[in-house]
Amino acid sequence: MQSDAINEFALRDELRRLRTQVPDSPQLNPIVSLAFDLSRQLESGKISLDHLRGLSGRLMDRACIHRARRLRDRIGYTEHADTIKEFTEFVESRIPDGEGDSDRFEAFAERWSRVRNGIVLTAHPTFGLSEALTRRMVEIAMGGDDDDDEINDRIGVPHRPDENIDLSYEHARAMDAIRNMRSGYYELLNAFFSITAQHFGDRAYTLRPKLATMASWVGYDLDGRTDIQWNRSFLIKLQEKFAALSEVRERFLTIRHRITNEEGIMRVARQITGKLDLAIAAVDEQIKSLSNAQQESGGLARAANVITRGDSYNLTSISPLTGLIDDMIASVDAPQIKRQLASLNGLIEATGLGMAHIHVRINASQLNNAFRAYVHEPWTHDLSERQALQRIVEMIRDVDEESVNFQTLELETATAIRQFALISQIRKHVDSDTPIRFLIAECESPATVLIAVFFAKLFGVSDIVDISPLFETPEGLETGARLLDRLLEEPAYRDYIKGRGRMSIQTGFSDAGRFIGQISATLAIERLHFALAAMLGKSGLQDVEALIFSTHGESMGRGAHPDDLKTRLKYVFSDEARRRFVGYGVPVKHETSFQGGDGYLWFANRGLSTRALATIIMDGAQAAESEDALYHRSSLTLDFMLRLKAYQQNLFAHPGYRAVLGAFGTNLLFKTGSRAVKRQSDQATVADRGDPSRMRAIPNNAILQQFGYVANVVAGLGIAVGTDRDRFLTLAEQSARLQTLLEMIAHGKRLSSLNALSANASVFDAGFWALRASWGREPEIEPALRNLASYLLSDTRAAAINGFAHHLRLDAIDLHQILETLGIEGGKVPDDHRLELDLLHAVRLAVIMRVFILAAQLPRFAQQNDTSHSQILNLALGLDVPEVVAFMRQVFPHKVTGGPAAAAFDEAASYRPHGIDDYARLETEILEPMEQAYELIREIGTGITHHFGAFG
């Protein structure tokens, strides 16, 4: 630490002292007070930006270390051996009691004959941690809790994402996580066969245990984006096949080297190796041909001919491979070799000819529009009409299957149709066995689902595609049960799900939490689970399971409970929901998402991956019988839920909410993904960038974090309880489910600060700058302070945000009283971690003040390309710093480049053109410092994210 470094502990104590003065000085904001003091020192030269960079760096390091250790605790990792031991005990506990080995074996085999839980990796833009920072966090997480360990005192890498995050980057990160998952899955299979062999001998190796599924939509998700072409998705699928086959080959060779050279066994081994070698060579040739297709005339046709070539080398089914491995299991004697071969077979069967299953995703509007274009008849204009529904059903009944080729994919302009054709080509030429999920975002009509069934039948893939509507909007959640019920009335849909053996849905916690608040969304989704259980139970459909995919993010605002992984899983799919499905005799599979870079942390190495996988598999156990009062006091529960939902919807429409989202927009944040912040159809301007309905859930939640108050998690409980407080408190004491929800709220409140929310509004308050100028203590920047005060006189952001904060404070009073009565810590008196979070807000606010003061000193200029000085100042105050700096450098060039040197001219000149260095002051005293401040602002944003545990 520098000898003149700012003492963060003294500043933390100062924040604590200032907080004690608030009851006697209600207008005092400790964060603003500290930020103002730092700003004045910065402008006077007593401290430098480097001092603030060092201060914030130490605070961010500690926050990151705390986040890494929490990751370890949330996963539940202690030692790798402990993971294997706990999982082995779980598997053994599933072995039935009794004397008849045959009956016990059959019952045990039945228990593991279907998957109960799954994992899905998505490419949501939460890649806020660079690969180096991720590795450092994992190193700390695996290092334990030794606070005195010097290696864990500092992070040593910047708190920022990697540069140039594109789809290739995201896919590579996803594949790293999936490789670790596959290794963990293989180890758990080894543990499974080890314990079962002790009970059932060699018969154990004939089992086909389905522990869990692993899936990814990275490279296949087209909801709201048009930048992923079909050939890119197909190429990604080929690359995944190549990686999977290569990994299987490597694992098999490791096993083979441990086998004695018996001719019969070696002959089968050579067959397996040969089949893998030929298949790898075939897919490698396919990858190369398709990669070069766009660069050569006629390249697509040549690539297509390579891919579709009818030789026996291209492996499109796992059966030849798993059959040979079965032969080898039967031939070898060593139990260890049998176990490893059986585990390898289990891995292949779990993932097919790819690294994982794949999910294709499009938007409902894309599907509906594709259908209208395909049919091209007036009745398709309103697909909600009963007549339209019946016409679609008739089309399903009468459909004649069509064949496609790669030219079809190139010529087809409708995204939805092209995706079904893509699935057809994947099935024919890549992997004919493995099911593919077809997710429909924003699905609010049964006609949309039936349209998907029609196209699946049209292209001959209805037997491998699971069509899954996504319910995430308020309307979708409200009408979802009726939509599903309506589908079950249609014989065409019933025939489809009977053929697949499952009825698939997807629930979206992220967008739902944005629109109606996270707690309301969770309860609404749970009610949809209950309705689905009842519908399927009464449908008369035998052996049709419910497949529920819970799509939620990594933050509280997007549906991730901050407690351990077990609680996180039960938060999105409750024990009561599992009990309802059991009660109706409906088998259920639950999948959960791990989104983007933050989600991949759970699978960042072998140890963490194996622990997470084991927990997820064990979560599939049947829930214990229990009576939870939340579900038996329906009127109180429903009233509470409706009032909470109404409060959150009003909050969503509050002008202060719009002001918070629009004050800086996403300019406080680094770019953390390849996907656009807004849907690509949106063309919002700076003026309306705060419209919450136009902004995606991740930046919405990220901005709430950056402003210091996760309102969509913590707000509304006090109002929702209302006059029923005593009854609610009694209910809370009796309901484990409600306690889980309250702990989520309390955790969010412990991190949230209304002082931070108001503090971030202070820079838009003309009075703040006028008062600062009025004392005459900063004469060097007084003109800039006066300029800011004058410019912001008509600005409404400060008033709107402060009004929002006052509105939230009234609710927070009741919230704290409720939590205190229940003995739940709500952070009314902040701990050191929260104070350091407040300190980060204060440091960043001082740096934002620096940008404002610099912006107020920008020289005036004649209007250029319809851009005025006032517009540039407005952009700067919204922290659109890169745009401001680029424009100013264009208008005021610092130097002329590319000309001949002065020494080349014999004739002397006394005049130097102003463009050479007269603008040097603008560059060195305003633009460069503004850029440096802006980078620090964004890096501190990552530090704030560390405290919340996830981006967005």
CA 937/CA 943 separation, integer angstroms: 10
Residue 65, amino acid: I
Contacts of residue 506, Cβ cutoff 8 Å, sequence gap at least 6 = 439, 468, 469, 470, 471, 548, 549, 550, 551
CA 171/CA 240 separation, integer angstroms: 10
Rounded to 5°, angle at Cα 299 from 296 and 304: 165
Write down the pLDDT at residue 916: 54
Phi-psi region of 559 (alpha: psi -120 to 50; beta: other; left: phi over 0): left
Quick check: 918 pLDDT over 90? no
Least confident of 335-339, 351-355, 386-390: 386-390
Quick check: 148 pLDDT over 60? no
Contacts of residue 181, Cβ cutoff 8 Å, sequence gap at least 6 = 119, 214, 356, 603, 609, 613
The 10 Å Cβ neighbour count of residue 543 is 9
Average pLDDT over residues 186-202: 97
Quick check: 743 pLDDT over 70? yes
Structure confidence by residue, pLDDT tens digits, 534-553: 999 999 998 999 999 999 99
H or E element that contains 508: strand 502-508
- Beta-strand ranges (E) seen in 24-96 are none
Least confident of 181-195, 221-235, 665-679, 923-937: 665-679
Give 358-382 as a 3 state SS string: EEEEEEHHHHHHHHHHHHCCHHHCC
H or E element that contains 695: none
Token match 């490791």: residue? Answer: 254
Average pLDDT over residues 522-526: 97
CA 589/CA 114 separation, integer angstroms: 9
Sort strands 213-216 and 117-122 into parallel, antiparallel or unpaired. parallel
Structure confidence by residue, pLDDT tens digits, 457-516: 999 999 999 999 999 999 999 999 999 999 999 999 999 999 999 999 999 999 998 999
Sign of CA dihedral 553, 559, 562, 564: negative
Per-residue pLDDT band for 917 (boundaries 50, 70, 90) equals: low
Q: Got the DSSP string for 259-297?
A: S---HHHHHHHHHHHHHHHHHHHHHHHHHHHHHTGGGST
Q: Got the DSSP string for 290-320?
A: HHTGGGSTTHHHHHHHHHT---S-S---SHH
CA 426/CA 237 separation, integer angstroms: 8
Backbone angles phi, psi at 198, to 5 degrees: -65, -25
Quick check: 679 pLDDT over 50? no
Write down the pLDDT at residue 900: 64
Q: CB of 421 within 8 A of CB of 360?
A: no
With CA atoms as reference, report the closest residue to 946 among 157, 65, 170: 65
With CA atoms as reference, report the closest residue to 349 among 319, 313, 315: 319
pLDDT over 90 for what percent of the chain?
86
Average pLDDT over residues 932-949: 98
Write down the pLDDT at residue 2: 45
CA torsion angle for 133, 139, 145, 148 (degrees, to 10)? -80
Backbone angles phi, psi at 550, to 5 degrees: -90, 110
Quick check: 897 pLDDT over 60? no
Q: CB of 551 within 8 A of CB of 512?
A: no
Backbone angles phi, psi at 520, to 5 degrees: -60, -40
CA 210/CA 318 separation, integer angstroms: 16
Query: How far, in Å, are 24, 40, 416 from residue 369 at the CA level?
Result: 62, 58, 9
CA 458/CA 398 separation, integer angstroms: 10
Token match 């942390």: residue? Answer: 601
Alpha-carbon Rg for the chain, nearest whole angstrom, is: 30
Write down the pLDDT at residue 295: 83
Per-residue pLDDT band for 932 (boundaries 50, 70, 90) equals: very high
Least confident of 83-92, 311-320, 342-351, 795-804: 311-320
Q: CB of 809 within 8 A of CB of 2?
A: no
pTM (2 decimals)? 0.94
Write down the pLDDT at residue 914: 58
Average pLDDT over residues 304-333: 94
Write down the pLDDT at residue 798: 98
CA 924/CA 307 separation, integer angstroms: 58
Average pLDDT over residues 394-406: 97
Token match 């050569």: residue? Answer: 296
Write down the pLDDT at residue 681: 37
Average pLDDT over residues 891-916: 71
Quick check: 627 pLDDT over 50? yes
CA 725/CA 157 separation, integer angstroms: 49
Per-residue pLDDT band for 152 (boundaries 50, 70, 90) equals: low
Per-residue pLDDT band for 901 (boundaries 50, 70, 90) equals: low
With CA atoms as reference, report the closest residue to 835 among 756, 894, 725, 929: 756
Per-residue pLDDT band for 680 (boundaries 50, 70, 90) equals: very low
Quick check: 805 pLDDT over 90? yes
Contacts of residue 237, Cβ cutoff 8 Å, sequence gap at least 6 = 219, 354, 358, 426, 430, 431
3-state percent breakdown (helix, strand, coil) of the chain, nearest 5 = 65, 5, 30
CA 902/CA 614 separation, integer angstroms: 72
As a whole number, the mean pLDDT across the chain is 93
Least confident of 129-138, 613-622, 766-775, 859-868: 859-868
Tokens of 154: 């500092």
Per-residue pLDDT band for 262 (boundaries 50, 70, 90) equals: confident
Average pLDDT over residues 661-669: 96
Domains of the chain: residue spans and CATH: 1-71+830-898+911-952 (no CATH), 357-589 (3.20.20), 633-829 (no CATH)
Quick check: 685 pLDDT over 50? no
